[in-house]
Structure 1
Amino acid sequence: MALMSPDHPLRFANFRAYLIGRVCAVLAQYAMMIVLGWQAYNIARETMGTQGAAAQLGLIGLAQFLPLFFLTPVTGWVADHFDRRMIVRCTLLLLVTGAGLLSFATYEGWVSLPLIFGIAVIVGIARAFNGPAFGALAPNLVPKATLPRAIALSSVAWQSGQIIGPAVGGYAYAAAPWGAYALSAALYGVALIAMLMIGKVPQAARDTTRHPIRQMIDGLTYVRQNRFLFATITLDLFAVLLAGATALLPIYARDILHVGSRGLGHLAAAPAVGAALTALWFAFRPMQREVGLKMLIAVVVFGASTIVFGLTAFLPNDIATEVALGALLVLGCSDMISVYVRTSLIQLHTPDEMRGRVGSLSQLTISASNELGEAESGFLAALIGPVAAVIAGGIGAIIITLAWSRLFPEIRLARSFDPPDIRPTGASPEPSVKQVKETTT
């Protein structure tokens, strides 16, 4: 710690415990998600064929998304009105139980599609409450002056876990299918222990004067009226929703590139390596200028690398896998840049008393782009084939990004991470937009 400045986030024990819990929980979550898809695909393929199994990948994503969709108004309000630490602890306990049950069922040989789908729904419910509370907790653990760096570290931890997790799951499944779930359960357990180490933290006072339903609507209203937040959140929703190449990795690994479960681990690891390298770069050279424009460029690169990955189906076998790995590496780099910028901007442009509700909406769009994106990719792959689905998704992501850069100039005009003068609930919801416009006049 001697090399750190006095206001560095890692100087604070609560934040260190939070960061450990954040990394372990996200690693476990995304390792488990890819294993759920891989196992469901293999089970279904034996009786339904490739097209039917591809549809099962879509249904797995849908099973995890629907709880988030229906519970989002409630989970955001809960995160703003109850102890965020207790919410995270309870949901982690539920996730440990679900992963442990799948591990035991797989080891004993009685795992089935209904069980996999049932656990997928439980995971979706737990994540619906876990995400907003986890995300909104970080700003409560450090002084205000340290907040931008703390949010950046939290964003990097989340994104690193999101992209490294599938690689961990793929390799663990190749070694022992039951062990992949056991590893997720263990990681969730470590996250739970870390969260138990966090002491009492300050949180914005609850609003007890207005009806809970009205307060739930406030979160949606705040995001909808703040063009900057609305544009930033929906960009990820539509771009990643379309470019869901990673959802079809099981199909590419087994039926297109013919590399098996170990090859699935390599393919899933490629975005992880790209994300890790990008995170390491930010650790030494944090982004400071033209953050909005760089985020837009990163999403365009994300779409382009998705297209290249899809086109590997037409390459000779001796180079197809290498090109696919390279495309996924670039995809991971660009995805890390995008999420790093987007998550930091969202947190810094939201007052603490609204962070749970805004975070729940942000999580809904992220889940829509990931889980619902898996459903879209799976169903589209069953309809037009996996290769066409991947290529079309990449093209769609680029078109969406170009359209958003014109429809919402607030994004490309965001110069830095410096937070605006956030006002209390009920004040003008667009301070950042006004500030950006003032810099251009």
Structure 2
Amino acid sequence: MTIGRTKAEAVVKDVLAPKAVGDVLKALTADKPLPFCIQTDASNKGNRKMFPLAVQYFSPESGVTNKMLDFLENADESAAGIVDLIEQSLDKFGLSFDQVTAFSNTNVNYGIHNSVFTNLKKKQKHLLQGNCHAHIVHNTVKHALDQLTVDVENVVLKVYSFFSTSAKRRESLKEFCRFCDVEFQEILRHVTTRWLSLNPAITRLMQTWPALKSYFISLGEECPKQVRALLKLSEDSTEEDGDIVEVYLLFCNNILSLFEEVVRKLESDETTCVELYSIMDNFKEKLTQRRDDQFFGYLTKVKLQRLLPHYADIAKADFTAFLNTALSYVGKWFNFYEENWLFSLQPLSLHHGTLTFSDLERVTTKLNLIHKVNMDELYDECSTRKPILKRLKENAEDEWKSKGVAARWVALFQVADLPHMLSVISHIEHPSIHWICGKGIFQNGQQMD
């Protein structure tokens, strides 16, 4: 049977989509309705503005589930217009705002007094505010790079621009690579809005750095002035001056690997809000340790020793300023104190296979869930769960540690009936993408339609 465009569209609209939406509604409106997160963003298609409405929820059978619920057209992109659209869609499917635990969209319409979030909070007062932590880490890099004397980001952009417009220049660089006995590598493009594109571009520059430097020196007066200034190739430059740029590139290559690691953890499909505090806290500790130890990367240390003391001191001061600025910015936008509601969620990771009633009590109090949970029965469940959880961890300890947080809870719920504990977990066991401007809208720093 061949299916043309009309038949395929009819099958999707009249059969597959209603079945998919029906399965979602069946899960969300079962005997005990599940709490869920909603997320949306405007998608422009010509002169039409479309709004997909996605829901994410936790079920004891499948763990964290991400489903498309609706796809609507609305020319009004104001905060009030988006909220009305969400409300109409939920009403159409018989869902209540009381089930909504979190909201995610891009930073458009994200204000203090009039935003989608603030308007939704009027309808669901216990809605929690979060931030895109990957966005915080990305902005941290942008601010910290401003402390460096060498404009590393501009070096990457200018070098790429120089070679991307000329096949002849590319071939010349190949010849210099052969002469310098280094393998030729294509210069990578860096896009400032993509969070993970800078460090790979720097890595590629470092792989061909001797050839690149020799090539630009050979150009003499034909080398663009901006490139000469960025690479410190002025007429009175010395060998030490030229090495300074390499030192800065090595430092950025080393330190940005740490930022990349954090962003990838935050963007992982398996990462949940339970893990956010520990990820950010560990990130802060690594930055602090590097600053206190004055460790800027081993290769950076080796190159610094070859510089004149004056240049080396300037570079070290810049690197220290980079780390201080990074720590200051992260501390400004992320609360590293115990009053942060994310702090109280950490025991729910089950990493050590232990969980006390006091831990659950702090969570229910912090998230205003006490009125939704019978605390006495929750205590009984917590008491009966201890030997079960201990057995699950001991039977396959390595496998248990490798599991994601959601997978650990699924394993527990499969062997024990814990309805009150499930009520608590289903409110919070969502991926970190649920919080404002999260990965549901961005993948690796790229805005998605």
Q: TM-score, normalised by structure 1?
A: 0.26
Give 1 or 2 for the bigger CA radius of gyration: 2
- Answer 1 or 2: higher relative contact order, Cα 8 Å, separation at least 6: 1
Larger strand fraction of residues: 2
Higher helix share goes to which structure?
Answer: 1
TM-score, with structure 2 as normaliser? 0.26
